[in-house]
């Protein structure tokens, strides 16, 4: 099992939101913004909360002649019992 490359604690007030995109995830993994273009990079973002939250994932991609695509998905919560 791989260990996290980076972690971040975000405290959000009620009824607020945050966003992480591929650029932010790559910056967290590298420790700084990339100096130039980078190849396809995949990452996993794990969200752990102490209260019930709503998570919406938005996936985007662009490929040549077909133009950009977008998919929106509501992430189902999982309860972690310690």
- Burial bucket for residue 25 (CB in 10 Å: 0-12, 13-18, 19+): middle
- Helix H or strand E segment including 24: helix 22-30
- pTM comes to 0.68
State the pLDDT at residue 75.
92
State the pLDDT at residue 29.
85
State the pLDDT at residue 79.
84
State the pLDDT at residue 45.
86
- CA atoms 49, 26, 21, 72: torsion sign: negative
- pLDDT (average), residues 60-72: 83
Please report where in the chains the tokens 């939250």 appear, as a residue.
53
CB 75 within 8 A of CB 57: yes
Q: Which residues contact 80 (CB under 8 A, 6 or more apart)?
A: 48
Q: Could you read off the pLDDT of 2-61 as tens digits, one per residue?
A: 788 888 899 989 889 988 888 888 888 888 988 888 887 778 888 888 888 899 999 888
């Amino acid at each position: 099992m791989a260990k996290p490359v980076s972690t971040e604690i975000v405290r959000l007030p009620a009824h607020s939101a945050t966003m992480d995109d591929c650029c932010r995830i790559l910056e967290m993994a590298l420790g700084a913004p990339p100096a130039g273009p980078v190849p396809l990079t995949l990452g996993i973002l794990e969200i752990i909360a102490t209260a019930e939250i709503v998570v919406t994932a938005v996936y985007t991609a662009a490929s040549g002649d077909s133009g950009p695509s977008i998919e929106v998905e509501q992430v189902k919560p999982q309860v972690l019992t310690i």
